[in-house]
Structure 1
């Protein structure tokens, strides 16, 4: 397939089914321990995400980081074609249903510019490329954050979500690390 959009769509369909079969809370715990033990997190806020469907659950990791005094944030999805905005999150924070039915922090929470971005994925390859849902939110967000200064982009997924090569377009932003329950890959 020479058309990256068509190749991505086909891979998305397949990888949603694959990821659904991999969901395991023990794998999430192993990934959290590996990430904290291997990836050197720079100072500053860590932005995670509220898990959607069978996405790897990073909320326990965010609770742990918050408990250790780290500023934590979650994304808010704006109109399609715009970067994500991140709002400060605490475990007892009031959440609301966002644009895609995902829980988001309310507008009463301060906007945060993350130093670390935990990125969900449907698939990844060893070159640091990821496949998301196709709206481009994370690619636009990474491009904007990187234009402002350093940000560490850490893709998180189950090891079984690895593919030989993720189809890419010119706007796709690579990751700095990919962490699974089995390994941590430093890419940058």
Structure 2
């Protein structure tokens, strides 16, 4: 069961992000998922102030520069629907809320998806916050993982 939820099962789509600034680097995890015959996708901005798009990625994908000069799969890469989505955390709370770069893309994306993917936030334990003062549009994550292990579990197992 847990393997299905965390992108270990072939046939699932595992989406991640391309690391920027001090975010945890997921490239090795992405390559491992690909090698295990799991479809890997990267989140990218195709339209400003709209939900993100999930485009298929492989270790051989020739990346192009996207929004804010972040490397992304090219426009001809297949669009997929994510089963398991990984989100970067600049900050997080024990209730599963995340603090990001403040553009609202990730929450806008989760609100638009049906069914909603299982969402895992990846960050550092020192980034835990007392609160982010969640707004009605903020959507809590299902799980938070840091270098110290699982920090937040919302009916996962």
For the 8 Å contact 2:5–2:118, the answer to whether it is kept is no
Q: Please give the root-mean-square deviation of Cα atoms over the aligned residues, in Å.
A: 1.7
Task: Find the partner of 2:79 among 86, 111, 116.
Answer: 111
Offset at residue 38 of structure 1 (A): 8.3
For the 8 Å contact 2:42–2:56, the answer to whether it is kept is yes
Q: Which has the larger radius of gyration?
A: 1
Q: Which residue of 1 aligns with 2:148?
A: 182
Q: Does 1:169 align with 2:113?
A: no
Unaligned runs of 5+ in 2: none
Q: Which residue of 2 aligns with 1:84?
A: 52
Unaligned runs of 5+ in 1: 1-36
Q: Name the structure with the higher strand share.
A: 2
Task: Find the partner of 2:110 among 114, 130, 142.
Answer: 142
For the 8 Å contact 1:155–1:177, the answer to whether it is kept is yes
Q: Name the structure with the higher helix share.
A: 1
Q: Which residue of 1 aligns with 2:122?
A: 156
Alpha carbons of structure 1 residues 116 and 130: separation in structure 2 relative to 1, 3 Å = same
The structure, 1 or 2, with the larger RCO (C-alpha pairs under 8 Å, 6+ apart) is 1
In the TM superposition, what whole-angstrom CA distance separates every residue of 1:47-96 from its partner, at most 9, and x where no partner exists?
00000111111111011010111000001202332000011000110001
Q: Which residue of 2 aligns with 1:11?
A: none
SS at match of 2:121: strand
